[in-house]
Amino acid sequence: MIDRADAALADQYEAYPYPLRDPKDEARRLVVGSPSHLAEVDHWIFGARRPASAPLRALVAGGGSGDGTLMLAQQMAWRGRAGDVTWLDRSASARKVAMARAEVRRLDNIRFVEGSLLDLPSLGLGAFDYIDCCGVLHHLSDPAAGLSALAGSLAPGGGIGLMVYAPHGRTGVYMLQDALRRLAPPDEAPAARVEIARRVWKHLPDTAWLKRNPWITDHLKGGDAGLYDLLLNPRDQAYTVPQLAALIEGAGLRLRCLVEPVRYDPDTWLPDVRLRARTAGMDMIARAALAEALTGNMGIHVAYCTRAADPVAEPDWSDPAGVPRLRENEGPALATGLPADDVLPVTFDGLRVPLPLPRLARAMFGRIDGVRSIGEIADDMAASGTPREVFFRDFEELRRQMERMNRLFLTPQG
Ligand SMILES: C[S@@+](CC[C@H](N)C(=O)[O-])C[C@H]1O[C@@H](n2cnc3c(N)ncnc32)[C@H](O)[C@@H]1O
């Protein structure tokens, strides 16, 4: 059943396919992000245990103008990975943009299906090993029904990469949405609403919280599509960590990882031993909820989940045959760019996270290429004088720090 907000939502994405993309730009860059980077899917969903030769059947539910679809399909093509990516969305104009982008890239591993993810059980698309649902569930009238439809389309051993809005980092957004609903009600034509919103932004008092929130920029940099999605959306509901965890559990799924894990670890912000004594007894969700409330800057949550009924597939870092890779193969750049004190400076939406790395980090970064195994890297470094026990001690520390930054993964073999 389509309610009024659903109809307005359909009109929005027909008028303004999201995000705003020019197919010509595919010739010069690939948009990458989370969820659904192939290295993340391999690692967080399959624990790098699913053979690289096994065809991957992926679905991008609510694919929009194609960012997630193109990234995954392109990364599969570059790595010679068998399988395909199904783009599914209700918006015909988003489909046009996504198809044009795929054409520029000459990708032939994408299938385009126009329809609602709520109808998945009757669409006859079969079961999927991986499902992306990025920025979609929080617009549905019943997000739980949406996630259940996705969970029901997973093949055994499969998993889902989700993105939903989070409230604290969107401070100011909902106040302005409220103001704009009063000035430009959702039943007006999308273009008329955009015009009103632009006028309002020009005159917005400096005390409006969105003016003080520099981390939200879609209304400034995302064209009309970005402005509409952020400020005029007929329905968007943000999730705190506990609310997201309940949504995931309710769909028969298990939360495997929140990206980036380091942001969800309260100990990152609380070095005080008396405080750490209190966080030590908390479970993963309570810790993540605390980190969310402490930092106040999370505007989205990205979560990888697997079926609760399936055994957990943990990456096995203890196996010397395991092959590590950095997310964007940035090993050489990290090796040369790491500051002399071996502390990697990282910033998340204005929040600095100094990441102390072990002494051998530079030498290891220079050798992590997604091809050599941990054992081979150890051999190579032993040949230039690094005792194995020193290598394995430092590698474990490098692994711990870079994995929780969502930058270092194990790659599947076979
Ligand atoms: C904010 S956009 C996100 C697009 C894309 N996932 C991304 O992150 O770039 C939301 C998309 O969800 C689609 N959508 C909304 N409800 C849907 C439904 N019930 N079934 C399929 N797609 C839907 C919209 O048409 C729109 O393209």
Q: How far is the CA of 386 from the centre of ligand 1 (A)?
A: 51
Ligand 1, atom nearest to 6 Cα: 16
Q: How far is the CA of 80 from the centre of ligand 1 (A)?
A: 28
67 C-beta closer than 6 A to ligand 1? yes
Would you state the pLDDT for residue 187? 87
233 C-beta closer than 6 A to ligand 1? no
Q: Of the residues 136, 153, 232, 302, which should be mutated to test ligand 1's pocket, given the most ligand atoms within 8 Å of the CB?
A: 136
Q: Of the residues 16, 90, 141, which should be mutated to test ligand 1's pocket, given the most ligand atoms within 8 Å of the CB?
A: 90
Q: How far is the CA of 236 from the centre of ligand 1 (A)?
A: 12
DSSP 211-237: GG-TT--HHHHSHHHHHIIIII-S---
| Mean pLDDT in residue range 217-241 | 95
Would you state the pLDDT for residue 266? 96
Ligand 1, atom nearest to 132 Cα: 6
Would you state the pLDDT for residue 354? 87
162 C-beta closer than 6 A to ligand 1? no
Q: How far is the CA of 127 from the centre of ligand 1 (A)?
A: 20
C-alpha to C-alpha distance for 380 and 36, rounded to whole angstroms: 33
Residue pLDDT, tens place only, 255-275? 999 999 999 999 998 999 999
C-alpha to C-alpha distance for 270 and 58, rounded to whole angstroms: 39
For residue 411, list its beta bridge partners.
323
In the three-class reduction of DSSP (H, G, I as helix; E, B as strand; rest coil), residue 204 is classed as coil
Ligand 1, atom nearest to 117 Cα: 20
Tally Cβ neighbours within 10 Å of residue 291.
22
Percentage, residues of the chain above pLDDT 90: 96
In the three-class reduction of DSSP (H, G, I as helix; E, B as strand; rest coil), residue 374 is classed as helix
Residue type, 230: L
Would you state the pLDDT for residue 1? 55
Would you state the pLDDT for residue 171? 97
Beta 343-348 vs 351-356: how paired, if at all?
A: antiparallel
Tally Cβ neighbours within 10 Å of residue 290.
21
Q: How far is the CA of 30 from the centre of ligand 1 (A)?
A: 20
What does the block give as tokens for 141? 């009238």
150 C-beta closer than 6 A to ligand 1? no
C-alpha to C-alpha distance for 318 and 321, rounded to whole angstroms: 9
132 C-beta closer than 6 A to ligand 1? no
Q: How far is the CA of 266 from the centre of ligand 1 (A)?
A: 32
For residue 131, list its beta bridge partners.
59, 160
What does the block give as tokens for 402? 């870079």
For residue 378, list its beta bridge partners.
none
Q: Are 232 and 194 in contact (CB under 8 A)?
A: yes
Q: Are 58 and 128 in contact (CB under 8 A)?
A: yes
Residue pLDDT, tens place only, 67-106? 999 999 999 999 999 999 999 999 999 999 999 999 999 9
Would you state the pLDDT for residue 2? 65
Ligand 1, atom nearest to 17 Cα: 27
285 C-beta closer than 6 A to ligand 1? no
pLDDT higher than 70, residue 117: yes
In the three-class reduction of DSSP (H, G, I as helix; E, B as strand; rest coil), residue 352 is classed as strand
What does the block give as tokens for 414? 């076979």
Ligand 1, atom nearest to 13 Cα: 25
91 C-beta closer than 6 A to ligand 1? yes
Q: How far is the CA of 339 from the centre of ligand 1 (A)?
A: 41
pLDDT higher than 60, residue 116: yes
62 C-beta closer than 6 A to ligand 1? yes
DSSP 88-132: EES-HHHHHHHHHHHHHTT--SEEEEES-GGGHHHH----EEEEE
Percentage, residues of the chain above pLDDT 70: 100
Q: Are 301 and 264 in contact (CB under 8 A)?
A: no
User: What is the biggest distance separating any 2 CA atoms in the chain, rounded to whole angstroms?
Assistant: 71
169 C-beta closer than 6 A to ligand 1? no
218 C-beta closer than 6 A to ligand 1? no
Q: What pLDDT band is residue 3 in, cutting at 50, 70 and 90? A: confident
| Mean pLDDT in residue range 168-195 | 95
Sign of CA dihedral 31, 36, 41, 42: negative
